[in-house]
């Protein structure tokens, strides 16, 4: 009798999970841009660096038409300095990828799990975005202003330029005086947008003409 009851409970649980998955909607990020800025202790244009990093994958999860959360994977191997040229660019980019900073061989990706979006009134940006950011295996809860637009299953997020403390994620020179000449503050700004995916075969749904 106990075995029969246990089997029935497992069947009900599996049916519930299947039902949940059947009604889930997923929107995949198809367009993205991520920029970063780093600064020396004297924060001036001449003593700062900027560049890009690419999004490897991203998606938003919906319960019917309600946006539940988002999941993003950032390809740290793609990080690049964009404000210097030729030999200096290669040197700075290699430094960023090394154990001095992001250690991309050991930590090839960073992740951001968007947990909630709170609307704002009378502000330059219409929302505050909250989520958990993981860099070099360290997870921190962060928030930042952004303009967020959700129409059916299409999502566009355009963030403000916001700051992270690189030392929170162990991004610093190990036992080097060079680190004292770099601001702990680093800035990020990004834009992501999506198109609707068919839930059965995970291919983009063609827009109706």
φ, ψ for residue 153, nearest 5 deg: -110, 20
- How much is the pLDDT for 43? 53
Position of tokens 């080097």? 176
The owner of tokens 């990828």 is 97
The pLDDT, as a whole number, for residue 47 is 62
pLDDT attached to residue 175: 60
As a residue count, the chain comes to 209
| Contact by Cβ (8 Å): 34, 193 | no
Burial class (CB in 10 A: 0-12, 13-18, 19+), 173: middle
- Domains of the chain, start order: 25-197 (2.40.128.110)
10-residue mean pLDDT profile of the chain (209 residues): values are 41 36 75 93 66 97 91 97 77 91 96 96 93 98 97 93 95 72 91 72 48
Measured from the Cβ of residue 164, the count of other Cβ atoms closer than 10 Å reads 19
């Amino acid at each position: 009798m106990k075995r029969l009851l246990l089997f029935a409970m497992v069947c009900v649980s599996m049916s519930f999970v299947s039902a949940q998955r059947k009604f889930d909607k997923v929107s995949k990020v198809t367009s993205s841009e991520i920029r970063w800025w780093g600064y020396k202790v004297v924060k001036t244009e001449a003593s700062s660096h900027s560049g890009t990093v690419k999004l490897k994958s991203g998606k938003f999860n919906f319960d019917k038409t309600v946006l539940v959360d988002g999941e993003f994977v950032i390809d740290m191997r793609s990080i690049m300095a964009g404000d210097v040229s030729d030999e200096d660019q290669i040197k700075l980019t290699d430094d960023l990828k090394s154990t001095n900073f992001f250690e991309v061989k050991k930590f090839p990706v960073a992740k951001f799990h968007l947990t909630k979006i709170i609307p704002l009134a009378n502000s330059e940006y219409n929302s505050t975005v909250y989520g958990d950011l993981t860099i070099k295996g360290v997870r921190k809860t962060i928030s930042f202003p952004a303009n967020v637009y959700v129409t059916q299953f299409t999502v566009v997020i355009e963030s403000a330029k916001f700051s992270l403390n690189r030392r929170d994620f162990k991004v610093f020179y190990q036992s080097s005086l060079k680190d004292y000449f770099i601001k702990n503050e680093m800035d990020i700004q990004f834009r992501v947008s999506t198109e609707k995916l068919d839930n059965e075969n995970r291919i983009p749904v063609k827009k109706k003409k």
